[in-house]
Amino acid sequence: MTDQYPFKWRHFQSDIILLCVRWYLRSALSYRDLEEMMRERGLRVDHTTIYRWVQHDAPDLEKRCRPHLKATNDSWRVDETYIKIKGTWTSLYRAVDSQGQTLEFLLSPTRDAEAAKRFFHKALHITADSAPQAHPIEEQVTKPTVVALPTTLTSRVINVDKNAAYPKAIAERKAIGALATSVELRQVKYLNTLVEQDHRCIKRLVKPGMGFFSFETARRTLQGYETMHMLRKGQVHSVGKGDIKKQVTFLARLFGVAV
């Protein structure tokens, strides 16, 4: 298997694998639901096989999509929601801009200042404004593109809730120069309604599986959920919001699958 042909030497056809992965990460389905749907189409695919496909390909999906994301703006909305792992609630930190475009996400076993610091460290070292725009989308996704990401993402204002960990984390980022001292911190609850509403799109996908059984399983699956959510919101260049055909074509070309 190579980066250019990620499905090489797999037992099933590449288009079937990508279809199952895409459906699972896009819709509120369980692995057994997908097993039954494939059986209706004359394909016998065990739900555990689909699970392995998702675990293997969801992180790769995020990696391949990142270079093609549009730039986000400099007004952030940061909040955390909760995901159940082995019966224990775990924090999922998420950030969107003022237009509702996803900035970054981080699954953390704790909800404290250290977790907030890790989240901002990750968010400030990943930028959506790094997508190659010199070539049309058909050329861009033929091969995975390696892009040198900027070390920081400029932010003008960061809105958070009353969690005391956020001011500490942001103060530390400013102290080490990772965040400009001019960045404004706002703790205004109603301004975070946007990110709180966005949480629902991820939570509805988690519900059919009734939680996760390991932190690593959750982390990998959430990478896929978040990436498909960004694609559906129109955050990928040349793929409009709600344009299902272009979304399917983009993913197929991203993984080198014939369409």
Res 93 pLDDT > 90? yes
Tell which CATH classification among 3.90.1300.10, 3.30.200.20, 3.30.830.10, 3.30.420.10 matches the domain 72-135+142-213. 3.30.420.10
Mean pLDDT of 224-244: 94
Q: What's the mean pLDDT when you consider all of the chain? A: 86
User: H or E element: which one contains 90?
Assistant: strand 88-97
Q: pLDDT tens-digit profile of 120-151?
A: 999 987 643 443 443 444 444 444 443 433 33
Per-residue pLDDT, 143: 44
How far is residue 94 from each of residues 115, 120, 194, 196, 257, measured CA to CA in Å? 12, 10, 11, 9, 31
Which band of pLDDT confidence, cut at 50, 70 and 90, is reported for residue 68?
A: very high
- Alpha-carbon distance of 255 to 4, in angstroms, equals 7
Per-residue pLDDT, 132: 42
33, 208 Cβ separation under 8 angstroms: yes
- The pTM of this model reads 0.86
- Alpha-carbon distance of 234 to 244, in angstroms, equals 10
Alpha-carbon dihedral sign for residues 100, 199, 53, 66: positive
Res 101 pLDDT > 60? yes
70, two tokens: 């549009």
Res 14 pLDDT > 80? yes
Question: Would you say how long the chain is, in residues?
Answer: 259
Res 17 pLDDT > 60? yes
Domain residue spans of the chain: 72-135+142-213
Q: pLDDT tens-digit profile of 194-217?
A: 999 999 999 999 988 777 999 999
CA-closest candidate to residue 213, choices 85, 99, 35: 85
